[in-house]
Amino acid sequence: MSGRFPYSNERERTKLLMTISPTKNIEDVKLLHDLGLHSVSFNFEVFDKGYWKAIVPGKDANIGRDLWEESLTEAVKHFGQGRVFTSIIAGLEPAKTLLEGVNWCCDRGIIPIIVPFSPETGSQFEGFRSPTYKWMFDTHYRAAEIISEKLPFISTSDYWKYDAPICSECFTGGFLFDIIKENAGINEPHSCNHLSENVIGIDTSETKAEAN
């Protein structure tokens, strides 16, 4: 395997995170790990099973909810905690079921990413409204409390510096992790800049000196 895929022994340096659909073969989850990926994300989009069928009919028809859940839990066995993710869109289902999804994930060592619903022009959701600020803040804050309690490693500076495959400040789901880090007293911006240094050899020392 390492001969065909040169990064299979470099997962700690490259920290590759792949967002992908699981396949119908549960053994392919292990294959993703063996290919050299550091982390994987199988995105729910919505957690409530009724909304799931209506909003992601392709995922429901081609993979199915049971296998989607099984693939996520199987991924934790191979990748480990802190390296398996799933996105849930905030605003497509009630806060109650979204938070049930957060609990479900955390109980299995999966990190949920909450992404704000943003209806696009020309899509089937054109004309729908995004959640209010208060709804978003309350939901994110409650989710952050659940994640911090059940996955305590995510509230450590070491995780964000050395193991996280994402920069919490640089992607659409970052608001949730901003809350988690602030509550934990992690104040340095772009806390996984260690990743840039390892992967592409960027020397950030001058930037750090200027910032100071």
Query: Quick one: pLDDT at residue 120?
Result: 81
168 confidence band (pLDDT: 50, 70, 90): confident
Residues 17-52 have pLDDT tens digits of: 899 999 999 999 999 998 888 999 999 999 999 999
Q: Where are the domains of the chain?
A: 11-151
CB 2 within 8 A of CB 8: yes
What's the pLDDT band for 73 if we cut at 50, 70, 90? very high
Torsion sign, CA atoms 100, 69, 9, 203: negative
Cα radius of gyration rounded to whole Å, the chain? 18
Higher pLDDT, 144 or 127: 144
What integer is the mean pLDDT of 194-212? 42
Written as six digits, the tokens of 198 are 């390892």
CATH class, range 11-151: alpha beta
Residue 170 pLDDT level (bands cut at 50, 70, 90): confident
**Which range is least confidently modeled, 32-36, 84-88, 204-208?**
204-208
